[in-house]
Chains A and B, each alone.
Chain A
Amino acid sequence: EPEVTQTPSHQVTQMGQEVILRCVPISNHLYFYWYRQILGQKVEFLVSFYNNEISEKSEIFDDQFSVERPDGSNFTLKIRSTKLEDSAMYFCASSGRDRGPYEQYFGPGTRLTVT
């Protein structure tokens, strides 16, 4: 069964450094999302992406964040200058037109630790 994959599974970085989290969505999906979960807190929506542009973003998704679909398969989240409070699990998700944007398939997550 097709699945969403994410790399790396764990990333450790120093405060102020840039990180790029990578995701490979399910191949025929059209909608892409990033969520994050700070330890012990709720899974929070960051951004959705459709037709090569951001379709919606939360207030968490400030100028430090950006997303890109550099080719036909990858979907990336970049954090330009990481802060301690960016430490979290980051989930990528995708959904297809056949079942609508609400049936989202999630990847296993990337645990980002900022020191």
Chain B
Amino acid sequence: AQSVTQLGSHVSVSEGALVLLRCNYSSSVPPYLFWYVQYPNQGLQLLLKYTTGATLVKGINGFEAEFKKSETSFHLTKPSAHMSDAAEYFCAVRGLGGSQGNLIFGKGTKLSVKP
């Protein structure tokens, strides 16, 4: 069955510090993995995705994530946090429902950035 676990419902970092948001997945098929960001009062915005190919994927706003099959992980990182990165981040894996793109989400991690 498909599932996603995000460790830490709330992560706080200082501005300029490394951001690391953890995501572990379970998938009975080769996984397609996604990170979405949600700013207050806005919809979910796709940050990056892994489908096949290179395991280190780069996304918008300086974020990247590495697919590690042996660890069933897809952690999100950013070398230097900005105040504007404060938001909620969701990891997702594709579901098993054919080709229509059902996404299975984690519970989300709220990132706070301290000045």
Stretch at the interface among A14-22, A79-87, A101-109: A101-109
Interface residues of A (CB under 8 A from B): 3-4, 6, 31, 33, 35, 41-45, 48, 50, 55-56, 58, 91, 93, 95, 100-109
Closest to A4 in B: B43
Mind listing 17 A-B residue pairs with CB under 8 Å?
A: A41-B107, A45-B95, A45-B102, A45-B104, A48-B97, A48-B100, A55-B97, A56-B102, A58-B102, A95-B101, A101-B101, A102-B32, A102-B49, A104-B101, A105-B46, A106-B43, A106-B45
Q: How many residues of B contact A (CB 8 A)?
A: 27
Number of A-B contacts (CB under 8 A): 69
Helix, strand, loop or mixed for chain A's interface? strand
List residues of B (91-111) whose CB comes within 8 Å of A's CBs: 92, 94-95, 97-108
